[in-house]
C-alpha cells in the first residue's frame, strides 16, 4: 500500500488529485491506460488508475459513497459494456482476486475496442451480442454473482429481470443504471424511475428487493443508480 492511497472498498482505493477526493483501481494491465485516465505509481512500481465518475456510472456510484456489492472474487455479467471504460475498472477490481467479467456489447465500433481491451486483461470475456436476448449468449455465460447493467434501451428494468432469470444466482446482486431519456424522452424522469422500480420488484422473470436508489447527478443527468438483491425462491 502507498502513503497517498488508502482502501475504500474491495479493490477500490481513495486518494486525492489536485486536492480533491479521487478514486483509483490497481492497474491489472500495467503500462497501459484505457481512456486517458491518470496513473499513480507507488514505490514498488504498482500502478493505480484514476476512475472518472463522469465517464462511468459505476464510478459515480462509488464516488457517492454507496456500498456497491462488487467484490474482487465476483463473477460479473456486464450488460452494455461499450468500449470498456468502466469494464476496465471492474477488471482491475476483479484482478485482485479471481473474479471474472462477462462483457456484452452489441455495437460493432465499441466492440472492437472491447476485444482489444480483453486481449490485454485476462479476466474479461468479451461477448458480441444483444443484451435484450440473454438466450443468445447463454452458451457462453455461467451463473453470476452480480449483474451490472448500463444499456440505453426502452425497457431497462425488464431486460435486467430477464437476464437475472437466466444468470443471477439466488441472493445475487443487480447494479443498474437507469437512463430516463432512453425509456421515454417525453416523460418526467421521476415517473419513469418509479415505473422501472416497480418492474424490478414485481416481474415474472425475477423479482428484486431494492436496497438503494440514488440520483447520479451531477455526474450523469437524468440517470438513477439502483442496487438490488434478487429475492430467493418462495
The site for another protein (CB under 8 A) is made up of 98, 100, 108, 111-112, 114-115, 118-119, 122-129, 135-140, 142-143, 165-167, 169, 185-186, 205-206, 233
d(CA 179, CA 122): 30
The annotation status of 131 as a binding-site residue, yes or no, is yes
150 labelled binding-site residue = yes
Q: Which is nearer to another protein, 24 or 193 (CB)?
A: 193
What Cα–Cα distance (Å) separates residue 15 from each residue in 25, 57, 59, 92?
11, 19, 14, 17
We find the least distance from the C-beta atom of residue 170 to another protein, in angstroms, to be: 9
If the CB atoms of residues 42 and 73 are measured against another protein, the closer one turns out to be 73
Q: How far is CA 155 from CA 35, 95, 193, 194, in A?
A: 29, 32, 11, 13
Of residues 44, 170, 152, the one with CA closest to residue 106: 152
106 is in an annotated binding site: yes
CB of 205 to another protein, least distance (A): 7
Q: β-strands 124-128, 100-105: how paired?
A: parallel
Is 22 annotated in a binding site? The answer is: no
What whole-number distance in Å separates Cα of residue 26 and Cα of residue 14? 11
C-alpha cell at 144: 453470476
- Check the annotation: does 2 bind a ligand: no
Cell of 103: 462483457
Query: Which residue lies nearer to another protein by CB, 119 or 217?
Result: 119
Half-sphere exposure of 159 (CA within 13 A, CB side): 24
**Smallest separation (angstroms) from another protein to the CB of 78:** 13
Q: What does the DSSP 8-state code read for residue 28?
A: S
The nearer residue to another protein, 44 or 108, going by C-beta atoms, is 108
The verdict on whether residue 144 carries a ligand-binding annotation is no
CB of 215 to another protein, least distance (A): 20
Nearest CB to another protein, comparing residues 13 and 137:
137
Give least dist CB 217 to another protein, A.
20
Binding-site positions for S-adenosyl-L-methionine read: 85-86, 105-106, 130-131, 150-153
Amino acid at each position: 500500500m502507498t502513503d497517498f492511497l488508502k482502501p475504500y472498498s474491495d479493490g477500490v482505493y481513495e486518494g486525492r488529485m489536485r486536492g480533491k477526493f479521487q478514486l483509483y483501481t490497481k492497474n491489472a494491465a500495467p503500462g497501459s491506460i484505457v481512456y486517458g485516465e491518470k496513473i499513480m505509481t507507488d514505490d514498488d512500481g504498482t500502478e493505480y488508475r484514476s476512475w472518472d465518475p463522469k465517464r462511468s456510472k459505476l464510478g459515480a456510484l462509488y464516488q457517492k459513497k454507496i456500498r456497491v456489492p462488487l467484490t474482487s472474487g465476483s463473477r460479473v455479467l456486464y450488460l452494455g459494456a461499450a468500449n470498456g471504460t468502466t469494464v476496465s475498472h471492474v477488471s482491475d477490481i476483479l484482478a485482485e482476486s479471481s473474479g471474472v467479467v462477462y462483457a456484452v456489447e452489441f455495437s460493432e465500433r465499441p466492440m472492437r475496442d472491447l476485444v482489444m481491451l480483453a486481449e490485454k486483461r485476462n479476466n474479461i470475456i468479451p461477448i458480441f451480442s444483444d443484451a435484450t436476448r440473454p438466450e443468445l449468449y447463454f452458451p457462453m455465460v455461467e451463473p453470476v454473482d452480480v449483474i451490472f447493467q448500463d444499456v440505453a434501451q426502452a425497457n431497462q428494468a425488464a431486460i435486467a429481470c430477464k437476464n437475472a432469470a437466466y444468470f443471477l444466482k439466488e441472493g445475487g446482486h443487480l447494479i443498474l443504471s437507469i437512463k430516463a431519456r432512453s425509456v421515454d424522452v417525453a416523460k418526467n424522469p421521476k415517473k419513469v424511475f418509479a415505473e422501472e422500480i416497480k418492474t424490478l420488484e414485481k416481474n415474472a422473470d425475477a423479482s428484486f428487493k431494492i436496497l438503494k436508489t440514488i440520483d447520479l447527478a451531477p455526474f450523469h443527468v437524468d440517470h438513477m443508480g439502483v442496487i438490488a438483491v434478487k429475492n430467493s425462491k418462495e
